[in-house]
Structure 1
Amino acid sequence: MKHPASAGRRLTAAVAVALAVTAGGLTAPALAAAPAPVTSPAADEQPAFSVPAGTTVLSSGPSGFLTFREEGTALAYVWVRNDGTPTRLSGQWAGSEGTDIAVRREGTKHTYVDMTTGKEVVSYDTAQLGGTHTVVRYQGTSLVTRKYVSGSSGQELHVISKDAEGRTVDRKVSGMPLFATQKKTESDGPDTLLYRYDHSTGGVPQQDLAVVDVPSAKVVATYDTLGTSDLLSMGASETRVAWFEWSNYNNPVLAVARRDGTEVTRTRPLSGFASSSFLSVQIIGDWAVHTLQGGGAATVTDPLHQVTARSLTTGETVPLLAHASRLVESPDGSLITSGGTLDQGEGVYRIAPGENGAHPTVSLLATTGVATELTVAKETLPPTGTFDLDRAGGKLTAGWTLNRKNARVTLKLVHVATGRSVTVVPPYTVPATTDFPLVWDGLFAAKFPAYNGAYTWTMTAAPANGIGPAVERSGSFTLTRAARLHDVDDNGSADVLNRSASGTLSSYDLGQLLRREPGAAMDANRIGSGWNAYDRMTATGNLGGTPAADLVARDRTGVLWFYEGKGKNFAPRKRIGGGWNTYDKLTGGSDVTGDGRVDLLAADKTGVLWLHPGKGDGTFAPRKKIGGGWGGYNLLSATGNLAGAGAGDLVARDRAGVLWLYLGKGDGTFAARTRIGGGWGLFDDLVGVGDADGDGRNDLAAFGAGGGTNPGLLLYGGTGQWAKPFSPHLLAEVGYDWLNDLY
């Protein structure tokens, strides 16, 4: 027996199967590759019957073949007659190559059952053989074992059989060197065993391949192999022997020798990254057929997964199947294997010699009804039309259920206006199921909140093994959220504006700064240069009726200009009017009048505070006097609703560094001030930024050293309580190129 095929990356099951069905099985290394997609030269005939999905062929005889498949955590063994009739077998079983015998394995007991009659033929108990015998192969009605030589690390090969009287006969195989160590065995029908072993000649390590005649228990041919190629496959026909070598541990080499000679022909290294124990090779006619098993479930692409026929006379290669499990030799000289093609899907295939040396032919014996290419069982696509991220709980949900696990699934979203994109992947590297959920949290890279507006999306499921085409869906939607008070770039997150020494205005997303990794660079949105022309500026929130926040700026002649937010930048300025140089403080962002529109507050040089009610179109109604005595403050900041009463509020810092809260009454006036606390004189600027941390309460941003060494940007999160309206949180240290101009 050869090792059965692995189910790709399902290594726990694969190794368990290998040990269960292969006597003396060796631990298999992880599969690292997958085949290229091909269609096969399969016959057009329909399969005669069906078999369950996941069926793998273990051995083949004249009247049927032995299979196994995973059933939960167990393995189910079934003998399938050539007419499709299944016989389920309980317990653990193995096959006897080229016969209708299946072997029941019960500890040290091995019972051979003729599947054509259901009767037991022979039985062996290795515990009664004497010494320590390890089962190597089941050959016809014989048992091949290896036995350690006492006092050495060498091994002897033994054939255990029954004589005419039914007595157990133990024969040591002759023609083997002393102290040989088994590396790999393969069966070539009931009478021939291929045995690969390590030994030493004159102190020089050597690896050979022996052809063992089982009935006579003799080595009848020996071939030198290159390198120390553990676990690499072998195969034989009546005229040739083939094996893989891996002398440079890079790419495997296929070696072929005639059985009536010793000359070896070797191919150039084959492309691929083959895991040695999963290679399988057999010979039919003048063709060597080989594959790297497990391609159907592999998670990487490897050209060796393709089942390829290679002419031993011309070197021509012909693709047969997209992938397959172990290649099992049948008594009629054909091969049986579990595999798949893009045109006929998964099932049990027969590979037969072509007439007069022509290409081997492929026919589908039994189908599982499962496609070889990647297919979709269920899908949840991204939205179409307008998608409100707030109403969706801040997440966009999509996903696929596919016909297999080994797929690479992505969802790429592209913001049309900026070209900025994000790629969403499932939350695991190696999926445990065929479900691939895709959840977008509304963020670009570096935790930057995505912009509102038009998006295109492409959802792709690519076969991880490279077999077949990718599945792709595409579409578009418009992302929207509720307008935020201080959202300059229209991404549903509060921003602060900063003017550099050279007059460049940039916005910084506070949501990004809250989520970023420690030490990560801040993603600045550069708005433009020339802003040193203004001596007063304030971000006002939505003055003009668009979702993005707006800005007003006063030039040095006293003219006030309106900049309507367009997302990421501003529309060309509009003149509001002159005479604004009477004011030394401007602040906006609070709805002081309670009409749903943000207003502008201005303190003149005599200490009188004035209200300029917003009209919702970027202009203001005539000003209204709020009151005098405001000259004692060196900073004013409209914060929006801090205490939950509904109207916009105001904070003011006096020259002693004490911060005061003025609660809006909703009629254009404020309640009596309440003291927030002292020490606020350490900051160069304070800006009401709306709800930056997403808790539903308005916050305050502060810039300056704050008592530390380096200047920093701090966020004072709103508490919703008028007596203690803020709690501090450091957002980021920033460079000294920041001026004390924060808006």
Structure 2
Amino acid sequence: MATGLPADATAIWPESVKGTSVTLAYKSGGKQYRATLDLASGAVSGAKVVVIPADALFRDPGDMSPTLRAWMTEDAAAKVSLVLEDRKTAARHSLALGQPYHPAVHVIGDWALYADDRLFMEPSPLQALRARSFTGAEFKLLDTYRHAVRGPDGTLLVQGGRLDRGEGLFRIRAGADGKPAATMIASSGVPVKLALSPSTISTVDLDKNRGQANLDWTLSRLNVQVKVTLRHRRTGKTATRTVVPPYNDFVAPHIARIRWDGLLDSGECAFNGAYDWQLTATPLDKLGPAVSASGSFTVTRKVNPRDLNDNGSPDLLVREGNGTLTRLDTVHRAGVPGSGVVHQTIGSGWQTYDRIEATGNLGGTAVGDLVARDRAGVLWLYQGTGRGNYATRLRIGSGWQMYDKLAGGSDVTDDGRNDLVGFDGLNNFVHPGTGDWKRPLQSRWEVGSVPYELNLLA
């Protein structure tokens, strides 16, 4: 417990350390004071009034040397200026700084050192520590600035960084020519230049998390703009996402997270299979170059028996009055209503058929097939390609005009393969699937006299 401070002392702040004592700044009775705190006894002594310029920022009275005084002012529009005063002549010069977040100024000899103690996620154009003389000469000492205190020898100890050295602790003192010079005395091991770690993304399971996925990359810092392009290798279709900055309260520090909704730029659900990704991270503070990386991963999900283009969503088939068959791709995710976002024409001439039925996998290709009956009673198999269309038709057999209704897409016989059911007006018959495109259906079995609820494309 320190003793010797006035009872109304506020804004107590340690300014510098010298041996076993600390210089304290505090406010009391509406005035600014500096005093010495003895670390061994805890006693505060030698308090002196610090004359603060009337227009100085309340939170920072500035700094001075025997020849130069510097402080910050703020106008009614919250615009800040740096004021330099020659202590011999009392002449003043000012420099407009705009609206920094937390401006700071220190004096080394004939030079004022100023910067903005920047917020990590909101880089300031004044984040560099610059030295400026009363004559207007100026140069940059550090690329980044966080905090500064006076050392026991009167030099300035600054937490900051340089592109060529990284972040760390720097000692700033006047050189032989009187100009301030910065020397790193300890490194934090953190680079100032943006760095990107190798990605660990390999497989993305879009059956999880409602069809969404968190794609994570590790960066040395997150005050960046991240742009990621995912390109499906087979179709060339892409998903592009940009985040500024890519920060989330629920992930580890330095993780740039893209919350992919599982959709492509076209509005379609993402296709299964191999994707190539390209990432570019651009520093918002313009410190150092942008970094880029690329890689690949695989999107996977369980097979959807009504999915004709391998993107996890069921599709609808529509035959128009002129005989054109069209596939409607849907968006099918938990909590999201289905909607047709892509219309693909499969072909014309489908008025040849009086019955068309999507059956799921009959031919063994693991994607949806369909059967079509022509007006002569011949049944044809169209195997799905997984690309949203069908291969050349294959003849299954004749005599199928006996059925009033056809239905497929389910495993009636519980053998793991899709079957086809027909109703002849009196009884239901099941034709078990074989999974072999050369002979996709076995001989029929009678399964009852009550017709199934069948949804047909007529």
TM-score bin (small chain): 0.7 to 0.9
Q: Structure 1 residue 451: deviation in Å?
A: 1.9
Q: 1:448 to 1:193 in 2, by over 3 A?
A: farther
- Return the alpha-carbon distance in structure 2 between the equivalents of residues 421 and 231 of structure 1: 48
Query: Which amino acid counterpart does residue 586 of structure 1 have in structure 2?
Result: L
Does structure 1 residue 382 correspond to structure 2 residue 201?
Answer: yes
Does structure 1 residue 274 correspond to structure 2 residue 97?
Answer: no
- Which residue does the alignment assign to 1:570? 389
Residue correspondences, number = 439
1:142 pairs with one of 29, 47, 69: 47
Greater helix fraction, Structure 1 or Structure 2: 1
Does structure 1 residue 319 correspond to structure 2 residue 140?
Answer: yes
Q: 1:193 to 1:524 in 2, by over 3 A?
A: same
TM-score (norm. length: structure 2): 0.73
Structural mapping, 1:337-736, within 5 Å:
337-356=158-177, 360-372=180-192, 381-383=200-202, 399=216, 413-416=230-233, 417-421=235-239, 429-430=248-249, 434=253, 436=255, 443-444=262-263, 449-458=269-278, 474-499=294-319, 503=324, 505-509=326-330, 511-512=332-333, 514-516=334-336, 522-528=339-345, 530-531=347-348, 533-534=350-351, 535=353, 536-554=355-373, 561-576=380-395, 582=401, 583-593=403-413, 595-603=415-423, 611-620=430-439, 624-625=443-444, 668-670=445-447, 673=450, 686=455
- Which residue does the alignment assign to 1:310? 132
Task: Determine which structure has greater relative contact order: mean sequence separation of CA pairs < 8 Å that are 6+ residues apart, divided by chain length.
Answer: 1
Q: 1:120 to 1:388 in 2, by over 3 A?
A: closer
Q: 1:285 to 1:566 in 2, by over 3 A?
A: farther
Structure 1 contact 495–510 (Cα < 8 Å) conserved: no
Q: 1:411 to 1:330 in 2, by over 3 A?
A: same
SS in 1 for 2:70: strand
Structure 1 contact 351–363 (Cα < 8 Å) conserved: yes
Q: Structure 1 residue 404: deviation in Å?
A: 6.7
- Return the alpha-carbon distance in structure 2 between the equivalents of residues 419 and 427 of structure 1: 24
Q: 1:622 to 1:382 in 2, by over 3 A?
A: closer
Query: Which amino acid counterpart does residue 350 of structure 2 have in structure 1?
Result: A
SS in 1 for 2:201: coil
CA-to-partner distance for each residue in 1:377-420, whole Å, 9 max, x for gaps? Answer: x9871126xx7666999886765677778677887644232423
- Which residue does the alignment assign to 2:52? 194
Q: Structure 1 residue 331: deviation in Å?
A: 8.4
- Return the alpha-carbon distance in structure 2 between the equivalents of residues 434 and 239 of structure 1: 45
- Which residue does the alignment assign to 1:293? 117
Structural mapping, 1:11-50, within 5 Å:
24-25=10-11
Q: Structure 1 residue 300: deviation in Å?
A: 1.9
CA-to-partner distance for each residue in 1:229-266, whole Å, 9 max, x for gaps? Answer: 77576343333333344447375443333334455433
Q: Structure 1 residue 321: deviation in Å?
A: 1.6
List gaps (5 residues or longer) in structure 2: 1-8
Structural mapping, 1:86-165, within 5 Å:
100-103=21-24, 112-114=36-38, 118-119=40-41, 122-123=44-45, 141-143=46-48, 159=49
Q: Structure 1 residue 341: deviation in Å?
A: 2.5
SS in 1 for 2:126: helix
- Return the alpha-carbon distance in structure 2 between the equivalents of residues 545 and 252 of structure 1: 74
TM-score (norm. length: structure 1): 0.48
Q: 1:246 to 1:441 in 2, by over 3 A?
A: closer
Q: 1:590 to 1:303 in 2, by over 3 A?
A: same
Structure 2 contact 52–61 (Cα < 8 Å) conserved: no
- Return the alpha-carbon distance in structure 1 between the equivalents of residues 177 and 264 of structure 2: 62
Q: 1:193 to 1:671 in 2, by over 3 A?
A: farther
- Return the alpha-carbon distance in structure 2 between the equivalents of residues 523 and 255 of structure 1: 64
Of the structure 1 ranges 530-539 and 431-440, higher mean CA displacement relative to structure 2 is found in 431-440
Question: Structure 1 vs Structure 2: percent identity of aligned residues?
Answer: 32
Q: Structure 1 residue 363: deviation in Å?
A: 0.4
Structural mapping, 1:238-253, within 5 Å:
238-247=66-75, 249=77, 252-253=80-81
Does structure 1 residue 60 correspond to structure 2 residue 33?
Answer: no
Q: Structure 1 residue 450: deviation in Å?
A: 3.0
Q: Structure 1 residue 436: deviation in Å?
A: 3.9
- Which residue does the alignment assign to 2:62? 234
- Return the alpha-carbon distance in structure 2 between the equivalents of residues 230 and 531 of structure 1: 80
- Return the alpha-carbon distance in structure 1 between the equivalents of residues 132 and 377 of structure 2: 87
Q: 1:597 to 1:368 in 2, by over 3 A?
A: closer
Q: 1:327 to 1:500 in 2, by over 3 A?
A: farther
CA-to-partner distance for each residue in 1:533-587, whole Å, 9 max, x for gaps? Answer: 3353221111232232123345667665543323351144324268578255332
Query: Which amino acid counterpart does residue 353 of structure 1 have in structure 2?
Result: A
When the two chains are superposed, the root-mean-square deviation of aligned CA atoms in Å is 4.9
SS in 2 for 1:485: coil
Does structure 1 residue 256 correspond to structure 2 residue 84?
Answer: yes
- Return the alpha-carbon distance in structure 2 between the equivalents of residues 361 and 600 of structure 1: 85
Q: 1:470 to 1:195 in 2, by over 3 A?
A: same
Q: 1:327 to 1:674 in 2, by over 3 A?
A: same
Q: 1:623 to 1:264 in 2, by over 3 A?
A: same
Structure 1 contact 405–433 (Cα < 8 Å) conserved: no
- Return the alpha-carbon distance in structure 2 between the equivalents of residues 449 and 614 of structure 1: 29
Structure 2 contact 105–112 (Cα < 8 Å) conserved: yes
Q: Structure 1 residue 339: deviation in Å?
A: 1.8
Which has the greater radius of gyration? 1
- Return the alpha-carbon distance in structure 2 between the equivalents of residues 495 and 578 of structure 1: 27
List gaps (5 residues or longer) in structure 1: 1-22, 27-56, 64-80, 82-86, 88-99, 124-140, 144-158, 160-191, 198-208, 210-228, 626-667, 688-740
SS in 1 for 2:100: coil
Query: Which amino acid counterpart does residue 181 of structure 2 have in structure 1?
Result: T
